[in-house]
């Protein structure tokens, strides 16, 4: 199992704009999920490419206007 520090290093190799200070505010689980998602972006798109959204986040997010 990778440490939190190792996950941050892997993320920064893919997303070079991600700051260590920002990433360190997330827990291990969130960093692992983000790295998995980033890793999928490295693969070619097509019929064999897929990413399964976990059920703990909504597919669509919206906000009601204050006006």
Q: What integer best gives the mean pLDDT of the chain? A: 86
Whether 66 is in a domain gets the answer: no
Whether 27 is in a domain gets the answer: yes
Tokens of 37: 């998602």
Q: How many domains is the chain built from?
A: 1
Long-range (24+ apart) CB contacts under 8 A made by 32-36 are: 32/2, 32/7, 35/7, 35/10, 35/11
Whether 56 is in a domain gets the answer: no
Question: What pLDDT is recorded for position 49?
Answer: 67
**Res 23 pLDDT > 70:** yes
Whether 15 is in a domain gets the answer: yes
Whether 46 is in a domain gets the answer: no
**Res 27 pLDDT > 90:** yes
Whether 21 is in a domain gets the answer: yes
Whether 48 is in a domain gets the answer: no
């Amino acid at each position: 199992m990778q440490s939190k520090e190792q996950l941050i290093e892997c993320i920064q190799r893919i997303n070079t704009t991600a700051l260590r200070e920002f990433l360190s505010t997330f827990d291990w689980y969130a960093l692992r999920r983000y790295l998995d998602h980033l890793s999928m972006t490295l693969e070619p798109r097509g019929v064999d490419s897929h990413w399964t959204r976990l059920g703990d986040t909504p597919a669509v997010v919206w906000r009601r206007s204050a006006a």
